[in-house]
Amino acid sequence: MVALMRAYEQLYINGQWVASAGTDTLSVTDSATEEVIATIPDGTASDVDAAVAAAKAAFPAWSALSKEDRAAYLMKIHAGLEARTDEIAEIIAKEVGMPVWLSSMIQVGLPKGNFKGAADLLGSYQFEEQVGNSLVVREAIGVVGCITPWNYPLHQIALKVAPALAAGNTVVLKPSEVAPINAFILAEIVHEAGLPAGVFNLVTGVGPVVGEAISAHPDIDMVSFTGSTRAGKRVAEVAAQTVKKVALELGGKSANVILADADFGKAVSDGVGKCFLNSGQTCTALTRMLVPRERLAEAEAIAVGTAQAAFQPGNPFEAGKFVGPLVSAAQRDRVRGFIQKGVDEGATLLTGGAEAPEGLEQGYYVQPTIFSNVTRDMTIAQEEIFGPVLSIIPYDTEEEAIEIANDSIYGLAGGVWSGDADHAKAVARRIRAGQVEVNGGAFNPSAPFGGYKQSGLGREAGKFGLEEFLEVKALQL
């Protein structure tokens, strides 16, 4: 296991580790023990100015580099992540609470794939095409500010940094201050890979200071943000003053529509897992399970049995655990408040509850909780909880199910289950969301990822993610 504690005293700007303009620090805690495991600089707007100046100076040469050379750098980063997989997995397990075996597979596996995928894409992507008498050219936007969350910290960084660099942009990254250690490791890997000075810059700090400075900066050409809808609205508001491009990947309240002819054993148990993954700290979590009213009791029994058999919380380093703690005391208290709200508003509590799990009073633990007889107007049916809380909502007709699924300010993800695959796809087409699983279809890291409505603007991943970081120019010939 990696040795902690770590004291990070410098930021990564212009190819060097440099002191922050400020003197304050922020603490990072172990989600299972509540112990401080690291400190990081509490960056300032002046630090952002320095990082942006470096990125702006590096942009002309980096964007002019051949796509083959940029791909080679991305593969060096991929190799660096591969070499430090175990270390990063253990750190994210401590930062976020995901069990370490899942952390290795997901929290590190996906970022490695993001860098390799971006490099591979450069081999086939056509940056120019002829349209009539015009040569349409796709070229780098410029300096990109990346503001990332804590729930899948390195994955969300890689989803932005890899395609931004692949497209020829330079980057200023502000990771979440709650789970930042992985970002420092990435900066170390970038440095070892020999990227030119200023191409990648890391400034840590809090959103109201560093995030605001990035969003407002006149020399940042694009901001890519992942986080809460509330924070995303603020990023867009601030960025609008300089009319820069904004990409937003925000909240979700995803509906899992289980139709009457579905295999309930498979659909309900899969749905519980899709809700509780990463202790529910997943923007695409299928937190609303819609079932036919006449099969409600059956769904309840399967859901409770699945939760109690497979999703009992425990230390992230304990073998066989699927659920660990939440990321912070604030998040734990917020989720417990939502659970109490569900009880107060009259939902039927099937398992779990607002109390600490037995024997896990220390650490940021929450009981995986399932409510039934939830109505569409209840708080737990409308607000993103970001914890292991499942709402089972009965419906009477398929049309009503589709209506309930779309009765949300969000539209990030969803699911549909049916014994008839074509029927499931037909219903999935009517759900207003950016990604919809059909009969448990697997996550595809190359498919476009993003949402409708207040779940965001733009798409990440694969070709679609690369194109978010490109401008389009027409040369009239």
The residues that are catalytic are 249, 283
Tell me the torsion sign for CA atoms 279, 283, 288, 289.
Answer: negative
Candidates 241, 353, 350, 354; CA nearest to 301 is: 350
CA–CA separation, 135 and 154 (whole Å):
37
Which DSSP string do the residues of 80-92 spell out, in sequence order?
A: HHHHTHHHHHHHH
Q: Integer distance in angstroms from the first to the last C-alpha of the chain?
A: 61
CA 368 to chain CA mean position, Å: 21
Q: Is the dihedral of CA 103, 107, 112, 114 positive or negative?
A: positive
Query: Position 66: which residue type?
Result: S
Q: Are 415 and 435 in contact (CB under 8 A)?
A: no
Nearest to 323 by CA among 108, 111, 102, 150: 102
Distance CA 403, CA 400 (A): 5
Question: Can you say whether residue 278 is alpha, beta or left, with left for phi > 0 and alpha for psi between -120 and 50 degrees?
Answer: left
Strand partners, 449: 460
**Is the CB of residue 155 less than 8 Å from the CB of residue 143?**
no
Structure tokens at 275: 């809700």
Residue 26 and residue 119: Cα distance in Å, rounded? 34
